[in-house]
Chains A and B, each alone.
Chain A
Amino acid sequence: MGVAASCCGGARSVSVDLNNDASLLIDIPDALCERDKVKFTVHTKTTLSSFQKPDFSVPRQHEDFIWLHDALVETEDYAGLIIPPAPPKPDFESPREKMHKLGEGEATMTKEEYTKMKQELEAEYLAVFKKTVQVHEVFLQRLSSHPILSKDRNFQIFLEYDQDLSVRRKNAKETFGSFFKNMVKSADEVIISGIKEVDDFFEQEKTFLLDYSSKIKDSTARAEKMTRSHKNVADDYIHISATLNSLSVDDNTKVEGRVASDEELKLTELLRYYMLDIQAAKDLLYRRARALADYENSNKALDKARLKSKDITQAEEHQQQCLQKFDKLSESGKRELTSFKGRRVVAFRKNLIEMAELEIKHAKNNMALLQGCIELLKSN
């Protein structure tokens, strides 16, 4: 199925204050979906001289975004930064499976019911599509609004290189291997919590992030389950209204359907996004913990060297390096984590307000619809 959608601007639901620095503006004005692959058109407008042109676009696939993310994560210099989480892979599994089931069940439904279900599915498909475009766009915009990351060479290549990136991607995969991916995720928690913390700020952050991370993961899963249930209820209403129509009674189907899909976009997405973001913050803590461990090890090595009176200078140098790295990480880490906190609170606020307003709007719409139906039936 070939679907093209233009998603111009629109409210960014999970992040705020992005894309307002005129020196580098990025957006994804449209995207094309062919079978499994989504092709995004990444459009850049810039006043920076580091770019060859002031206004240009390139086609990119999801894998290109992952390459960029991994490249940033692997860069030593960025160890003290929170790398924005990679956008999740476009997942059309759910609407596609439903479409398949619908096709199989076509014979048992009335034409009207089938049409309605098909419409709902197409809307769902479109919603998934819009969502994936949005998360990919937000990823790029977070990079462009970051003082350090926006200057990254790989980022520039991503935006500008007008050939297929897949060649670079293949090379990258070999170099980086799975150095980072291989680290067992559960190991971070042990390492992070095992480190004796010298700094109050980081001590608090560590406690907070570990706890919050598990809670938000739980909430995301629950929210997903809840919105799925809501969707089931909405689907049932479509069947009911179609059958009622053939018995010539009035109906009110769109009612529950809309509530489900909008709730999905607001709350679940917010939680999901911050779940990933918190993971990125935890990764930062992990790297810092590693640096601290390295520093402590270098101290031990220095002591040993002094005892043996061997390679003292080397050991001293190494110890200094470790200390510097650790201090740098701590300094940048503190900055990043503080701004992250602020960002998170603002995003939650915006989202919760929008969600509440949507719920109210929909409920009021439903009420009007229902009142209309009731009056119609009573007057007959």
Chain B
Amino acid sequence: EDSFDMEVAVTNPEKIGKEYIFFFTIFELMFGNHLETTLPMFRNRTFSVWRRFSDFLGLYEKLSVKHSLNGCIIPPPPEKSVVGMTKVKVGKDDSSSADFVERRRAALERYLQRVVCHPSLLQDPDVREFLERDELPRAVGTHTLSGAGFLKMINRASDAVSKMTIKISDSDAWFDNKLQEVESEELQLRKLHAVVDSLVNHRKELCGNTAVFAKSMAMLGNSEDNTALSRALSQLAEVEDKMETLHQEQAASDFFILAELLADYIRLLGAVRGCFEQRMKTWQRWQEAQSTLQKKREVEAKLLWANKPDKLQQAKEEITEWEGKVTQYERDFDRISVTVRKEFLRFEKEKSNDFKSQIVKYLESLLQSQQRHVKFWEAFLPEAKAIA
């Protein structure tokens, strides 16, 4: 069995005209265990192409059209941001638009990584084309895929299905439970995301206040007539300046590691819900087909009794047609149930790994920050002791 690992890096956002294009590199590592293959045991393949943001959205649309009916969990694309993009288009080159580009770059990287890690999506020809083709024709109709539009799609589906709460079979309890878990988890993540947002803002505030405080300490140090104390106060001002830098970096960590992780998973959980609801829709279709078949049979019975042979023939044909549909839809339902279950388990595993690795990354950033904290204050301490 060949196993392979793919790593994606999205880099070098470049501005061409009014929009940014993103350069991404796929590192494809293949490990072949097959004895029959003539492939070398280890083959590295690296290739890079550039893509527009709308290309990524276009890819999502193609995939969702093809696969969402199967119950596949399709990673949702990064959000479109009208405000952010306007700033970029207008050519505003300040730190907030740099932040925005970085945020988008990171989001595209995560999105692509999830796509290539999905075993069935990777086989999809559209994905292959996206990864390999030199230049993609511009995607159209991606305006419907803004963040809000995407969620609306999901919610519309769930509205239609929420009316049905019938348990289909014993194994369905599994689906019911999992759906409930997903819904409650989504709520928790939303709550958490709101708090992390607040954390980012408070930390940015702390940044500003620390900077202002540092300046006022420097001025106080200048006023101070005791030489050693004056020096110490100036040093304190410098330490506080360094603290400000630390806070700023930490705020970036808070956002890029934690907040974005949560935002991603809130959207992903929405996609998972969509799958479950797709399954319910399939079930519904099967049930409706069954009831239509039943009606057709009743019509046939009536016609038999009323003795109308020509209409009878048509009725029989319709019955055959609908029997076929019922069989088809039942098979569809079984198939989608299998897929959703498989997808969900894969998703859970991926989510658990993702969270763990991101949280470790976040904690490591906090750790680093504290290490520098110690260094700065240890450097200050002798200055304080030197006051006389």
> B374 an interface residue at 8 Å Cβ cutoff?
yes
- Tell me if A216 counts as interface (CB < 8 A to partner B): yes
Given known A-B contacts A349-B384, A353-B384, A360-B381, A233 and B192 have beta carbons under 8 A apart: no
**Bound form: Cα–Cα A232–B220 in Å:** 26
Interface residues of A in 196-225 (CB under 8 A from B): 208, 211-212, 215-216, 218-219, 222-223, 225
B209 touching A226, Cβ below 8 Å: yes
Contact B363 A229, beta carbon cutoff 8 Å: no
Name A365's closest neighbour in chain B (CB-CB): B370
Q: A208-B223, A208-B225, A212-B223 are in contact. Are A353 and B385 (CB under 8 A)?
A: yes
Q: Does A359 contact B (CB under 8 A)?
A: yes
A328 CB-CB contact with B under 8 Å? no
Q: Is the CB of B206 within 8 A of A240?
A: no
Q: Is the CB of B224 within 8 A of A377?
A: no
Instruction: Report yes or no: B195 in contact with A367, Cβ–Cβ below 8 A.
Output: no
Q: Is the CB of A367 within 8 A of B356?
A: no
- Whether B373 pairs with A249 at a CB distance below 8 angstroms is no
Across the interface, name the chain A residue whose C-beta is closest to B380. A356
The listed residue with most A CB atoms (<10 A of its CB), out of B188, B206, B371, B378, is B206
* Contact between A222 and B384, CB atoms less than 8 A apart: no
Contacts of B212 in A (CB 8 A): 222, 225-226
- Taking the closest CB of chain A, its distance from the CB of B205, in whole angstroms, is 5
Residues on B with beta carbons closer than 8 Å to the beta carbon of A250: 359
A352 touches B188 (CB 8 A): no
Contact with B along A271-296 (1 / 0, CB 8 A): 00000000000000000000000000
B216 with A215: CB separation less than 8 A: yes
Contact of A380 among B219, B223, B356, B366 (CB under 8 A): B356
CA of A62 to CA of B111, assembled, Å: 63
**Docked complex Cα distance between A230 and B229 (Å):** 26
Tell me the interface secondary structure of chain A in the complex. helix
With beta carbons under 8 angstroms apart, the residue of A216, A229, A348 that contacts B206 is A229
Instruction: Name the B residues within 8 Å of A357 (CB-CB).
Output: 381
Asked if B188 and A359 sit within 8 Å, CB to CB, the answer is: no
Task: List the one stretch of A86-94, A128-136, A142-150, A368-376 in contact with chain B.
Answer: A368-376
Complex Cα spacing A239 to B217, Å = 32
| CB–CB B202/A249 < 8 A | no
Give the total number of A-B pairs whose CB atoms are below 8 A apart. 140
Whether A218 contacts B219 by the Cβ 8 Å rule is yes
A246 to B377 alpha-carbon distance, docked (Å)? 36
Collect the chain B residues with CB atoms within 8 Å of residue A228's CB: 209
B371 with A367: CB separation less than 8 A: yes
B236 at the interface (CB under 8 A from A): yes
Q: Which of A249, A341, A374 contacts B364 (CB 8 A)?
A: A374
- B4 interfacial contact with A, CB 8 Å: no
User: Measured between alpha carbons, how far is A247 from B188 in the docked complex, in Å?
Assistant: 8
A216 neighbours in B (Cβ, 8 Å)? 220
B74 an interface residue at 8 Å Cβ cutoff?
no
Residue A366 contacts which of B229, B232, B364, B370 (CB distance < 8 angstroms)? B370
Q: Are B202 and A345 in contact (CB under 8 A)?
A: no
Residues of A within 8 A of B364 (CB): 370, 374
List residues of chain B with CB within 8 A of the CB of A78.
none
Max chain B CB contacts within 10 Å: which of A218, A228, A364? A218
Q: Does residue B174 face the partner (Cβ distance < 8 Å to A)?
A: no
Q: Is the CB of A371 within 8 A of B367?
A: yes
Contact A367 B381, beta carbon cutoff 8 Å: no
Are A212 and B220 also in contact (CB < 8 A) when A226-B213, A370-B366, A373-B363 are? yes
Chain B 226-257 interface mask (CB, 8 Å, partner A; 1/0): 10110010001000000000000000000000
Inter-chain CA distance A50–B54, complex, in Å, is 90
In the complex, A98→B210 CA distance in Å? 23
Contacting pair A353 B381 (CB below 8 A): yes
CA–CA, A219 and B205, complex, Å: 17
When the two chains form their complex, are residues A377 and B209 in contact, meaning their CB atoms are under 8 A apart?
no
Chain A residues with CB under 8 A of B317: none
Check: B191 CB closer than 8 A to any chain A CB. yes
- The reply to whether the CB of A193 lies closer than 8 angstroms to some CB of chain B is no
Of the listed residues A218, A233, A239, the one surrounded by the most CB atoms of chain B closer than 10 A to its CB is A233
Contact of A249 among B205, B359, B385 (CB under 8 A): B359
Q: Which of A215, A249, A356, A371 contacts B219 (CB 8 A)?
A: A215
B229 to chain A, nearest CB (A): 5
Say whether B229 contacts A377, CB under 8 Å: no
Q: Which of A215, A236, A246 contacts B195 (CB 8 A)?
A: A236
Q: Quick one: which of B84-100 are within 8 Å of A by CB? A: none
A219 touches B216 (CB 8 A): yes
Kindly list chain B residues whose C-beta atoms are within 8 Å of the C-beta of A348. Answer: 229, 232, 387
A168 contacts the other chain (CB 8 A): no
In angstroms, Cα B225 to Cα A341, docked, is 9
Q: Is the CB of A377 within 8 A of B356?
A: yes
In the complex, the answer to whether B374 meets A364 with C-beta atoms within 8 Å is yes
Cα(A222)–Cα(B223), bound, Å = 17
Assembly CA distance A38 to B2 (angstroms): 76
Q: Answer yes or no: B314 CB below 8 A from chain A CBs.
A: no
List residues of chain B with CB within 8 A of the CB of A299.
none
Question: Would A243 and B192 be within 8 Å (CB), given that A360-B374, A360-B378, A371-B367 are in contact?
Answer: yes
**Interface residue B42 (Cβ < 8 Å from any Cβ of A):** no
Bound-complex Cα distance A341 to B188 (A) = 56
CB neighbours of A252 from chain B (8 A): 363, 366
Do A233 and B188 contact each other (CB < 8 Å), given the known contacts A352-B232, A356-B381, A363-B377? no
Q: Which residue of B has the minimal Cβ distance to A374?
A: B363
Given known contacts A240-B196, A247-B185, A371-B367, A225 and B213 CB-to-CB distance under 8 angstroms? yes
Please state if A363 and B370 are interface contacts (CB–CB under 8 Å): yes
Contacts of A378 in B (CB 8 A): 360
Q: Does B328 contact A (CB under 8 A)?
A: no
A237 CB within 8 Å of chain B: yes
Can you list 11 A-B pairs, Cβ within 8 angstroms, ordered by A? A223-B213, A225-B209, A226-B213, A233-B199, A236-B195, A243-B191, A246-B188, A341-B225, A349-B229, A370-B363, A374-B363
Given A255-B366, A349-B387, 13 extra CB contacts under 8 A? A215-B216, A216-B220, A222-B212, A222-B213, A225-B209, A229-B202, A232-B206, A240-B195, A348-B387, A352-B387, A363-B374, A370-B363, A377-B356
